[in-house]
Chain A
Amino acid sequence: MRVLMFGWEFPPHIAGGLGTACYGLTKGLANQGVEVIFVVPHAYGDEDQRYVRVMNASDVEATFGEEIHGQMWEKLTFIHIDSNMVPYISPEEFASESVSYQKTGEFLYRRDTWKERYDFSGKYGANLMEEVARYAIVAAQVARDLEGRFDVIHAHDWLTYYAGIAAKQVSGKPLVVHMHATEFDRSGESVNQSVYNIERAGMEAADRVIAVSNLTRSIVIDKYGITPQKVVTVHNAVQFAPSGEGVEVERGVKDKIVTFLGRITYQKGPDYFVEAAAKVLKRTPGVRFVMAGSGDMMNHVIRRVASLGIADRFHFTGFLKGDDVQRMFAMSDVYVMPSVSEPFGISPLEAMRSNVPVIISKQSGVAEVLDYAVKVDYWDVDALADAIYALINYPALSQMFASKGLEEVTALRWDDAAAEVKDVYQSCL
């Protein structure tokens, strides 16, 4: 079986968990004998291509402006495309341009064809909507170029849904869209309507929708009105670095360390962590709280920590990369993920892998697959404080969670998740 997959990021160039999940899934699929061509807006060339062929959308020449019929393209015209886009000339074109300029003093530049490359940033920047639209145009071209070389189209998250729809329209192959997060997870009730529209259009056009948890599945059904029969839950797994224990950490401080690691945004519930920290610190000395990450609520959280008067025991590390993440886990005694809404949530699994007991909110998808984690309602600051206090003060409890948790998390394999995804593919062929 061959799959044309559209993603937005791929390790090592990732901004969140999406790229990591895509990598784990493609690797698992490769083990299931599924061939994957993975298209990203901007490939850097150093992606791990052992299990998957990574294709750079920035290298695809697409015929912009061509008349394509169909309602999706009508919708596309609503998306504002900035005109200050710089056409991207290939090195060969540049060479012939400059040679002709030297000889004749005139530019060859012909504007009659619209065949251009669009240099995607592949980030989540200001002209994200423009990139999403352009990505769809490129996707149509990719589907045309690869005609007959894939059986299913698989699109990850709303950024790639137009691309998936375009590829489906061009090729007629079935489309599977994968909901790693919904707009409600990202923005609470104040959803961005154009993102919501893209998500719904993608799911409506799709033959199957994969949700990363039952939590996400019910949001998809309740809030997007998608037919329940075509929505399937496939829980994420976790892919650990082969030498996860490689990081030797010498602990500088003797105090117990309670860690929050993730984007400091509304969705992740950083406020509840701070309030719980203040409650714990009132009762017990010898504990420090660390908030690792960055995000739009960071300044707000820093102010709150300052006004609670706990800034000497509550530390911020900023965004952590690479080894620092492992070091942070290795230094932690308790890991807390108080997410308000978390479709899945990989990071508690990484913490458990580092032998750290975890507290997760009941409003996270990962709560569906874990037994050895303390589960609290995100808003229940007292329960959260209580759980933190227990895990730092009762060694028997934290040891049990750490050792059983490690077993549990080791059993969550991408191979199993990939097998379920493969079943989904088969169901729509």
Chain B
Amino acid sequence: MKTICFYFQVHQPLRLKRYRFFNMGKDHNYLDDVTNRSIMQKVATLCYLPMNELLLRLIDENRGAFRVTFSITGLAIHQFREYAPQVLESFRKLAATGCVEFLGETYSHSLASLVDEEEFRDQVISHCDLIEKEFGVRPKAFRNTELIYSDHIGEMVAQMGFRTMLAEGAKHVLGWKSPNFVYANALDQKLRLLLRNYKLSDDIAFRFSAQGWDQWPLTVDKYVSWLLSDDMSGEVIDLFMDYETFGEHQSASSGIFDFMRFLPQGILKTKQLEFATVSEAAAKYQPVAVLHSPHAMSWADEERDVTAWIGNELQDEAFHKLYALRQRIKQLNDPDFDYVWEFMQSSDHFYYMATKWFSDGDVHNYFNPYDSAYEAFINYMNVLSDFEIEVDKRISQSTAQSA
């Protein structure tokens, strides 16, 4: 019996508006509210609402045999509340079935794990509080932004009390080993790792509607035969993907909803495959080995490393200038400032500043509202500079009062 583990990532950044030098010092509304609202409502209509409904129906039909896992960022939940409360409602319905697990992650889909342990912890705690408040269950398993993982990050996550963490089944880390087993963190072996099977995940997430693909069109029978095949040996097959795959990246007309409508039946009727949530799968199997990943890896781009977000001069500068603010923000302890601090941290801003456009340029362009990395950088730095001025102003006010 092989276990199939579906996990879907739900995230929407708060996008910045075009913020010019001339706005500095006068205008402190940094967000493009119109775009944020219209994207949220569009994706809700195309993806979140129809797919949630489909999942509810599948869970209902299969009487608990179909199980899935979600991770929803704090910024996404923030925008559900503001622009699409019915989506939040439908996620609550999914939570109520007991067949859906919700993961912990950073509140704002941030890269804090790479820079500041304390900040990372704070954000994970605030995200877990939020998930518990919205869905009634405190997360036990963890996924980091963009599946960024290293031995050290795993150790921090284990220290926070998580027992399971997700990571990419990256070839350069696994070598000859298969992603289809449970592994353990190299520094703290109590933390179990589930690794994404990127081939089978991307068959759905990226290639489903690619007509140039020699396996197009992808049918349920074909996909189930791959899951069963001897080449796919192992105990657990982890299918991790963006939730927006369904209806947004792959449009409804590609047949993605029909595929998902019949996939669970096709899998269950083999009697050789079953579904489990992330924590259930990790508990069911013993780790076969420890996984050594001294350097950070992720699920992004061909390199499966963190160079989509940090590494070039622009990203490094923005990143360091942002985190240089941390002590001041904590000192202020003001919800208005925390709010900006949070949305400025989402990894998306740094993704827009990437300049490596070779193999993955298409994917970057798809998600990028700016014409160039440079424009993204200028805009971000203008906002950050104004924010810093406001932070300093407020700090000097409060020290003047207390003096």
Contact = CB atoms under 8 A, between A and B. Distances in A.
A315 B321 contact: no
A195 to B, nearest CB: 28
Interface stretch (B199-207, B224-232, B341-349, B378-386): B378-386
Interface in B153-177: none
A386 to B, nearest CB: 25
A299 B388 CA distance: 24
A312 B378 contact: no
B22 A324 contact: yes
A251 interface: yes
Contacts of A306: 313-314, 316-318, 377
B314 A302 contact: yes
B320 interface: yes
Nearest to A315: B21
Interface string B305-324: 00000001110111011000
Contacts of A305: 317
A252 B377 contact: no
A312 B381 contact: yes
A250 B26 contact: yes
B23 to A, nearest CB: 7
A252 B374 contact: no
B63 interface: no
Interface string B353-386: 0000000000000000000101001100110110
B320 A253 contact: no
Contacts of A311: 317-318, 321, 377, 381
Contacts of A324: 22
Given A302-B374, A324-B22, A315 B317 contact: no
Contacts of B26: 250, 252
A250 B22 CA distance: 10
A290 B24 CA distance: 12
A253 B24 contact: yes
A297 to B, nearest CB: 12
Q: Which of B25, B313, B384 has the most CB of A within 10 A?
A: B313
B314 A309 contact: no
Given A303-B313, A306-B377, A309-B320, A252 B20 contact: no
Interface residues of A, number: 23
Interface in B318-339: 318, 320-321
A316 interface: yes
Contacts, number: 62
A317 B21 contact: yes
A312 B21 contact: no
B40 to A, nearest CB: 29
A312 B313 contact: no
A327 B317 contact: no
Contacts of B25: 251-254
A252 B23 CA distance: 7
B378 A316 contact: yes
Given A307-B313, A311-B381, A317 B20 contact: yes
B252 interface: no
Contacts of B20: 317-318
Nearest to A292: B21
A298 interface: yes
Contacts of B381: 311-312, 315
Contact of A252 (B24, B313, B316): B24
B1 interface: no
Q: Is the interface of B mostly helix, strand, loop or mixed?
A: helix
A422 interface: no
B374 A298 contact: yes
A232 B95 CA distance: 85
A152 to B, nearest CB: 45
Interface in A287-334: 290, 298-299, 302-303, 305-307, 309, 311-313, 315-318, 324, 327
A299 B313 CA distance: 11
Given A312-B384, A315-B382, A307 B317 contact: yes
Contacts of A290: 21
Nearest to A317: B21
Contact of B385 (A299, A303, A307, A315): A315
A25 B314 CA distance: 44
B318 to A, nearest CB: 7
B24 A302 contact: no
Contacts of B289: none
Given A250-B26, A252-B23, A309-B320, A299 B374 contact: yes
B389 interface: yes
Given A306-B317, A311-B381, A253 B389 contact: yes
A254 B22 CA distance: 13
B314 A303 contact: yes
Contacts of A298: 374
Interface string A227-253: 000000000000000000000001111
A312 B314 contact: no
A315 B22 CA distance: 10
Nearest to B325: A312
Given A252-B26, A315-B382, A315-B385, A309 B21 contact: no
Contacts of B312: 303
A312 B377 contact: no
B21 to A, nearest CB: 4
17 contacts: A250-B26, A253-B25, A290-B21, A302-B374, A302-B377, A303-B314, A305-B317, A307-B317, A309-B320, A311-B318, A315-B24, A315-B378, A315-B381, A315-B385, A317-B22, A318-B378, A324-B22
Interface of A: 250-254, 290, 298-299, 302-303, 305-307, 309, 311-313, 315-318, 324, 327
Give 9 nearest A-B pairs by CB, closest first: A252-B25, A306-B317, A306-B313, A253-B25, A252-B26, A307-B313, A315-B21, A316-B378, A317-B21
Given A254-B25, A315-B381, 5 more contacts: A253-B389, A302-B378, A305-B317, A307-B317, A309-B317
